[in-house]
Amino acid sequence: MLLQSAAANYTTLFTMFGAITAALIAGAGLLYQIRRTRALERDKATWAAELEAQKVQHQLDVDLEVKRRTWDHEVETAERERRRAEAEAERERAALLEATLHREVELGAAEYCEKLAHELSMLRILDLSRPLDLKKLYVQVRVQEQEPLRYLYDDELLTAIELEDLASAVVGQEGIEAPKKPPRPDRASPATLAPMEALQRHQRIVVVGDPGAGKTTMVRHLAFGIATRRGIPGLPDLPAYVELNHFIGSGHTSLLDYLAEFWADRYGFAGSRAHMEAKLTDGTAALLLDGLDEVLGGGSTEEATAAYNRVANEVNRLAARFPKAPMVVTCRRHGWRSGLVQFQVMEALDFEWAQIKTFIANWFGPKDVRSDGLVQALSGNSRLQTLAANPLLLSLIAIVYERDLELPERRAALYRRCVEVMLREWDSHRQISRYSRFTTDNKQDLLKQIAWHYHQLGQRYFAEDDLLALIAQYLPTIDLPPGDNRAILDEIAAQYGLLKAQAHGWYGFLHLTLQEHFTATALWERGPEGIEVATARRYDPWWEEVVLLLAGSLPDATPLLLGLLQLPADGSGREDDVLSLPDDDLFHTDLLMAARCLTGSPRIADTRLRQQIVRSLWRLLEETPYEQDRERAAQVLVGLLGSGGQLPEIIDYIADDQHSEDVRIALVDALGALGGRGAGERLLGLFTLRSELPGEVREHFIRALGKLRVGQAVPALLQELSKLQNSRPSSDMDTIARTHHLAAIAEALGATGGPADTLLLLLEQEAGSEWFGTLVRAVGDALAQLDDPSVPDLLLRFADRNGGWDLGGGSSLAGTYLNVAGEPGFRSLLDLVRAGDATGWEAVLIMVSLAEFSTRGHGRAWREDFLALAVDDSRPWQIRWLAMRCLDHLPGSVDELEFLTAHPSRNVAVSAAVTLAAWGAPGHLHLVQEAIVKHRLRPFIPLRSRDIRRSIGIASVRGRLMQVLAPYNDVAFSRRLTRAAIRAGID
């Protein structure tokens, strides 16, 4: 029991102990759990705190990064703003500097023009220096186109062949007389223009003429006009006047380098090179280059030729580089050796009688009785009147008459008398005494020595040091110390003006004619030796004028003439005449030179020799089968006989129907080109009295009357016009001849001041006739010559009466209207096209005229109108082509037209590419090549009509391509495209 009780107790105790233990364990576990929970909670709280701290720190880091980035951004922004501000400031400074430089350059250009105008305004005529009054003193020299030799167009050749066939077909038919030769298909008289008109029409001209023909004064007047009328629409505003011999002597190879240096040195226009290039590029600067023949001087023919070619190549290079720049080159006729491509050759015409009288009146003034006296003296002496047609000789005549109240007849005597007036009597008139021991005779001897020395060297200008050395060498021969050479040079140059400082360190005679006069005098004093020198140099253009002056100076010109003809002095070898000389060339150069010497009225002891030369000229004129020989012989004969008492002999020859028509025509043409007032009156008298003269001869009479501007001929011309209009041709050849006859009358009426309404009535009456285009061109040229302010209104009314400007066959008077109406006429014709009032061919012909007019610098104010026409898809492609042709000369942004290069019309795309190239962006020229080679261009003219093609020749593909590609100097590419265009039959 006890054991059970004890066991029970132990059990109870054990249970209790177990329970207690379990409780303890549970309590411990609970305590552990509590502690663990608390620890976890503490850890959790710690972690949360840490996490929160991390979040806070992260946020702080983020905020800090944001602030840092914001700061960096603000710093960068500020830096960029600073740099932008600096760049903007730099651009503003650069723009301001550029504007300042531009303003300074413009001011420099304006100051240069002002100084140049002041310099050119002093008209230097030998000893006289007076302000050039453009309205009162200067008399405008006119120039005439010389048509260059060229290949005929296909249809012109076919026309000529058809005329020959027609002539052959009528031979032998009963009652029909075979004509001697068919009339030429179409040969209108060359246009006679004022120099500025010629420059605006052709842009590049070479003016050739005789010594003293006014070429230098003309180009100086052009420079003066441009310099004083800056900003006039249609005119360049920067004249670049260059004496080419100075350029050659400067050692420069680039004309622009020479000009930049010359302008800076002479006019203070520094930094002009870039400005000059920019103005030449956009066509607002004109290159006026004087004296191409004067570079022909040199120690040998090879040196002279090299100098000429060097200048010609440089001019060609500038013409190709600056296709929009107007350029004028002057050259003596016999020094012209061609070589300038894309230049129209113009001939400086002699003064007409009205111009001679105007010059004399301007020279003496309205109240000076000597003016009437000189006019009367000239009008009574046809030989002197012929001399007075040359502006320089007329100036000399005025100087001599002003002193003597009488005139020498020979040109050499006139020069000699003028020099005497300048050296001897000019001082006495003004009561001036010079270097007492250096007499007038000494001065003339020295000038002869200088001229002889430098002319042998082929030099027009000479270095100052060389000249002083030559004077020093001469002075001891007249018992003067060599050290006086500077004083002597200053006296001759400064006081008399015969020698002139041409540039720094360079001298030359005031005019080449003076050098030639003193050289001829030096030859004369050398006797037989001088004659031998002259005859040996007779084929050299540099010596030609010297030989002619020598002939007029010799007391007996017989030895000189025999030397020129290469005949022995004993008279053998010339029993009959001197035409078939064994040593003369095919062109009878020796005979013609000898005959030209006779025109100076030399004294010839062997009177038979003069007669033989004249007889040989007549024989050459009658027998030669060559037209050129016939024309040269006729011109020399007229120069020899037509200015004196033998003029009736020529008139009687022309009136004789037994003589060849070709010879009579050559004489009439020569009288028209060289005859004076008396010749015009006699031709008019014969024309009026001999109504039965053959038609072609009468036509040449009419053209001669027009060239001579015989105002009294208007009634006779109107009568001839009426008679011709009442006649009806009996054959095609008669139709052609009649049209040419009408055209000649129209041109003569324009030259002689005929009525404008009669000319327009002629077109209305002849409308629709064959060869109508020839007549339209003649009437247009005639109307442009008339000094009649009513012509523009008459033309507008004519267009209204005839339903517009399209006269049929591609003919139009729109170009004539532009020539007489100017910029207002440009606006009115352009409005017709833009408004749609002119459509079809009328619109095309108007646009052709506008395009041609724009090439002369007109229409700049209406660039946006042309651009609108170019991008207008509703317009025919021809109108768009012509609008872009006008834009060729009005550059703008490439974006304005570049999108048109993708136009579906190849003609539009090609035209846009060509215009862009003209603007200096040739990137699309491959379109032109592709279109031509692959025959994708449509012909501009759907009809093979000569008149239509000629009327829109300015718009031809080939013409535009050659002009636009020229500045890129890619000759091979240009030729390849041109050949492809020809093969494709594209105009």
Cβ 916 vs Cβ 901: under 8 Å: yes
Check residues 556 and 43 and name the one with the higher pLDDT: 556
Phi, psi of 691 (to 5 degrees): -70, -15
Contact partners, residue 164, CB within 8 Å, separation at least 6: 182
869 vs 857: CA distance, rounded Å: 19
Most confident of 176-180, 192-196, 743-747: 743-747
Give the mean model confidence (pLDDT) for residues 712-725.
Answer: 88
pLDDT score at 162: 41
Which range among 358-362, 881-885, 959-963 shows the weakest confidence by mean pLDDT? 959-963
Q: ∠ CA 286-221-851 to the nearest 5 degrees?
A: 45
Here the tokens at position 894 are 């490439």
Here the tokens at position 343 are 């230049």
pLDDT category of residue 977 using cuts at 50, 70 and 90: low
Which run of H or of E encompasses 129? strand 128-131
pLDDT score at 327: 93
Cβ 436 vs Cβ 494: under 8 Å: no
Q: ∠ CA 639-751-334 to the nearest 5 degrees?
A: 35
pLDDT score at 183: 44
The rounded mean pLDDT for the chain is: 78
592 three-class SS? helix
Are β-strands 327-332 and 285-290 bridged in parallel, bridged antiparallel, or unpaired? parallel
Residue 485 CB neighbours (<10 A): 19
Here the tokens at position 816 are 């004539």
pLDDT, one tens digit per residue, over 673-715 is 876 667 888 888 888 888 888 888 889 999 988 888 888 889 9
143 vs 209: CA distance, rounded Å: 9
Phi, psi of 286 (to 5 degrees): -120, 135
Give the mean model confidence (pLDDT) for residues 843-847.
Answer: 88
DSSP summary character for residue 294: G
Residue 213 CB neighbours (<10 A): 26
pLDDT, one tens digit per residue, over 425-450 is 544 443 344 445 677 788 889 999 99
Here the tokens at position 321 are 């580089």
Are β-strands 285-290 and 238-243 bridged in parallel, bridged antiparallel, or unpaired? parallel
> Of the candidates 879, 871, 922, 868, which has an alpha carbon nearest to the alpha carbon of residue 900?
871
pLDDT score at 944: 38
Which run of H or of E encompasses 459? none
pLDDT score at 230: 67
Indicate whether 160 pLDDT > 50.
no
Q: Spell out the alpha helix ranges (H) of 179-254.
A: 195-202, 215-228, 244-250
Are β-strands 204-209 and 327-332 bridged in parallel, bridged antiparallel, or unpaired? parallel
Q: ∠ CA 523-526-532 to the nearest 5 degrees?
A: 70
234 vs 795: CA distance, rounded Å: 22
Check residues 880 and 840 and name the one with the higher pLDDT: 880
| Residues 863-897: b if buried by 16+ CB within 10 A, e if exposed | bebbbebbbeeebebbbbbbbbbbbbbbbeeeebb
Here the tokens at position 901 are 């290069």
pLDDT score at 497: 61
> Of the candidates 886, 893, 838, which has an alpha carbon nearest to the alpha carbon of residue 862?
886
pLDDT score at 233: 60
CA 939 to chain centroid: 30
Give the mean model confidence (pLDDT) for residues 340-358.
Answer: 83
What is this structure's pTM?
0.67
Indicate whether 365 pLDDT > 70.
yes
Q: ∠ CA 459-465-471 to the nearest 5 degrees?
A: 85
Q: ∠ CA 512-518-521 to the nearest 5 degrees?
A: 140
Residue carrying the six token digits 């020279």: 363
Exposed/middle/buried for residue 605 (C-beta within 10 Å: 0-12, 13-18, 19+): exposed
Here the tokens at position 323 are 């296709």
329 three-class SS? strand
DSSP summary character for residue 273: H
Phi, psi of 94 (to 5 degrees): -65, -45
Check residues 480 and 419 and name the one with the higher pLDDT: 480
pLDDT score at 608: 85
pLDDT score at 950: 43
